[in-house]
Chain A
Amino acid sequence: MNTWLEILLYIQIALSGLCLFRIIKGPTIPDRMVAIDIFGILVVGICAIISVQTGKTFILDIGIAWIILSFIGTLTLAKYLSGKKLNQ
């Protein structure tokens, strides 16, 4: 069971690597921002798999905090894209 979980963890990390490829290559700015958003969601999955593999439950707390922080970051980037101030 543990080896299979480890393989799944490496696959998930490789998928984040694909997102990094899109962040580096992306022809326009919104491309990179979409990839950053998807990267943030993938990290939550990595946290969940690590918490199952090691049995330490506080990593799930990190995952929940990461969801909220990534959400706020994406909203800020989207506000920047539409060319408005943050309080509009």
Chain B
Amino acid sequence: MAALIVISIGVLFNLFGCIGLLRLPDVYNRLQAATKCVTLGCCSILLGVLIHFGITDAGIKALIAIPLLFFSATVAAHALVRGTYHFGVKMSDKSVKDDYKEAVK
């Protein structure tokens, strides 16, 4: 039962992330919202798998997948946002500040 609740919370976070992916105005905000919500949502689902199976081989596999997912998702987000900036996509009209412009030149 506890496993089911944790998995449901994870799917709810995924839903927020995907709504953010559709609604927000530019690439940077979309990447930010989606990466955070979807990463924590999938970690929550894996935690539910760990609770469901207990300390067996499957549970340990889910436990190993959690830090792996965290590091790979965050590093992929850094690489994507840096590549996007160098690709030349402008930030949306609502932006108020850009310190990175001088560093790139």
A and B touch in the complex (CB under 8 A): yes
Interface size class of A (residues with CB under 8 A): 35 or more
Assuming the contacts A5-B4, A15-B14, A51-B49, asked whether A64 and B68 have C-beta atoms less than 8 A apart, the reply is yes
Smallest distance from the beta carbon of A85 to chain B beta carbons, Å? 14
A21 in contact with B22 (CB, 8 Å)? yes
Q: B68-97 interface mask toward A, CB cutoff 8 Å, 1 = contact, 0 = none?
A: 110011011101101110110100000000
Complex-state Cα separation, A29 to B83, whole angstroms: 11
- B residues 24-58 near A (Cβ < 8 Å) are 27, 30-31, 34-35, 38-39, 41-42, 45-46, 48-49, 52-53, 57-58
What is the total number of residues of chain B having a CB less than 8 Å from a CB of chain A? 49
Complex-state Cα separation, A41 to B31, whole angstroms: 13
Complex-state Cα separation, A21 to B73, whole angstroms: 21
- For B49, list chain A residues within 8 Å (CB): 48, 51-52, 60
Assuming the contacts A44-B65, A45-B45, A67-B69, asked whether A38 and B80 have C-beta atoms less than 8 A apart, the reply is no
B80 in contact with A48 (CB, 8 Å)? no
B80 in contact with A45 (CB, 8 Å)? no
- For B4, list chain A residues within 8 Å (CB): 1, 4-5
Binding site for A on B (CB under 8 A): 1, 3-4, 7-8, 10-11, 14-15, 17-18, 21-22, 27, 30-31, 34-35, 38-39, 41-42, 45-46, 48-49, 52-53, 57-58, 61-62, 64-65, 68-69, 72-73, 75-77, 79-80, 82-84, 86-87, 89
